[in-house]
Chain A
C-alpha cells in the first residue's frame, strides 16, 4: 500500500517536472525530476523518461556535463532493458550533447548507433533524424577547426572533408524528409545544407538550397528564417560577383530585421549593404547604410562595430573626395581601434589619417594627439601597408567556441 503511494508520488513529481519544462521553466523542472528520482520507481520506462528529460533540461540550461551524465544513464538503462527505440533516442541525444562539447568522434559513434537502430526498426523518421544529427556533427566539426585562410582553397583539408561529409548526410536526410513530406524538417536541412555548400565554396548550390529554404520559410510565415535565407543568399551573391542581386537580398533582409525589431541583425544588414554599394561604386548609398550601421552600433554600445563603421565611412568619403569628412571618421576609427585593442585597425587608421593630412595639407602639429609616435607600433614596414592579418572579431571567435546553435522558431 505504501509502495503504491510512493509510486504515484514519483510519477506525480515527474509529471510536474515535465509540465514545468514544457512551460520553459527548466530549473523548476530539474528540481522536480531530481525529487522524483529520490523517491524512485520500479517502472523502468518512467525512469528512462526521467533521465532523458533531465538530460534535455540540463541541455537547455547549457549544463552539458550534467546533460551528458543523464543521457548516458538513459543509454545504459535502455540497453539493459533491451528498449531499442529508447536506445536510439538516447544515442541521438547523447550525440547532440557530445557534439556541443566538441567531442566529435564520440558523437559520430552515437549517431551511427542511432542510425543502425532506426534501420533495424525500419523507422524512417528515426533515420532522417540520425542523418540530420550526423550532418550537424560534421558541420560543427568543420567549423570548429581553426582555419586561417579566407579563400575556399585555404581551408585545411580536414575542414573540407568534414564539410563534404556534412553535405552528404544532409542530402541523405533531405531524401527522407521529402519522402515523408515534412516541410519544417526540409526547411532546416536546406538551410544547413546551403551553409555547408557555402563554406565549401560551392556558391551556386548554396544559392539553390537557400532559395528552397526561403520558399519554406514563406510557407510557414517564419520571418526569422526568411531573413536568414535572404542574408545567406546575399552572401553567396557577393562571391558569385553578382553585387546587384546581393544588394536586393540584403535589402529584404534589412526590411525583415526591422519588422522583427532585431537591432543587431539590422546593423549587420546595413553594414553588408554599405559594403555591397561600395563594391558597386555607389558611394553615396554606401555612406547612407554605413551611417545607419554606425548609429545602431552606438546604440548597442558595440565599439568594434562602431570602429568598422568609421573605417568604412572614412574610405567612402575618401572615394568621393570629401577629405574633411574622411578625416573626421579616420580619427574616430583610430580612437576606437586603440580603445578596442585592434592593432591592425590602429595601424590602418594612422596611415589613413596621415594620407589625409597630406591631402589636406595640414601640418603635423595641427593634430599632434593623433599622430603622436607610439613606441609599441611596429614601424618596420618602411611605409608599406601592413599585411592584413585576420582580425579575431566576435564572429570569428564564434567559430572557435561551440555553443548550441540558434533557436529555430519554426515549428
Chain B
C-alpha cells in the first residue's frame, strides 16, 4: 500500500509557499477641490483581492 496520506499535505504546502494574505497595496493620493477638506490625501483603493 502506498503512503498516500502525505500527498495532499505536500500539495498544500507547495501552494502555501506562495500564499500570502496581502495588505492593501494601492494607496493613491488625492487632490481635494473643496477648501473645507481635511486634506488627508490618502485613498485606500479597493478592488479585487490579489490573495496570492
Contact = CB atoms under 8 A, between A and B. Distances in A.
A406 B34 contact: no
Contact of A129 (B9, B29, B50): B29
B50 A59 contact: no
A192 B23 contact: yes
A52 interface: yes
Contact of A53 (B30, B49, B52): B30
Interface in A41-60: 46, 48-50, 52-53, 56, 59-60
Interface string B7-46: 1111111111111111111111111111000000111111
Best-surrounded residue of A129, A188, A408 (most CB of chain B within 10 A):
A408
A407 B25 contact: no
Given A86-B31, A232-B21, A404-B26, A315 B47 contact: no
Contacts of B52: 143, 395, 398-399
Given A14-B33, A62-B47, A279 B9 contact: yes
Interface residues of B, number: 45
A359 B29 contact: no
B32 to A, nearest CB: 7
A178 interface: no
A403 B48 contact: yes
A408 B24 contact: yes
A289 interface: no
A407 B28 contact: no
B48 A399 contact: no
A311 B47 contact: no
Chain A interface residue number, banded: 35 or more
A199 B16 contact: no
Contacts of A352: 4
Contact of B10 (A11, A359, A388, A395): A388
A192 B45 contact: no
Contact of B23 (A59, A140, A228, A275): A228
Contacts of B4: 315, 318, 351-352, 355
B45 A395 contact: no
A50 B33 CA distance: 8
Contact of A100 (B26, B32, B43): B26
A92 B48 CA distance: 21
A97 B17 CA distance: 28
Nearest to A149: B17
Interface of A: 11, 14-15, 18, 46, 48-50, 52-53, 56, 59-60, 62, 74, 86, 89, 92-93, 96, 99-100, 129, 132-133, 136, 139-140, 143, 147, 150-152, 187-188, 191-192, 195, 198-199, 213, 225, 227-229, 231-232, 235, 238-239, 271-272, 275, 278-279, 308, 311-312, 315-316, 318-319, 348, 351-352, 355, 358-359, 385, 388, 390-391, 393, 395-396, 398-399, 402-408, 410-411
27 contacts: A14-B33, A18-B33, A50-B33, A52-B29, A59-B28, A96-B45, A129-B42, A152-B17, A195-B22, A228-B21, A228-B22, A235-B16, A235-B20, A271-B12, A278-B5, A315-B4, A318-B5, A388-B10, A395-B18, A399-B18, A403-B50, A404-B25, A404-B47, A405-B26, A406-B51, A407-B49, A408-B23
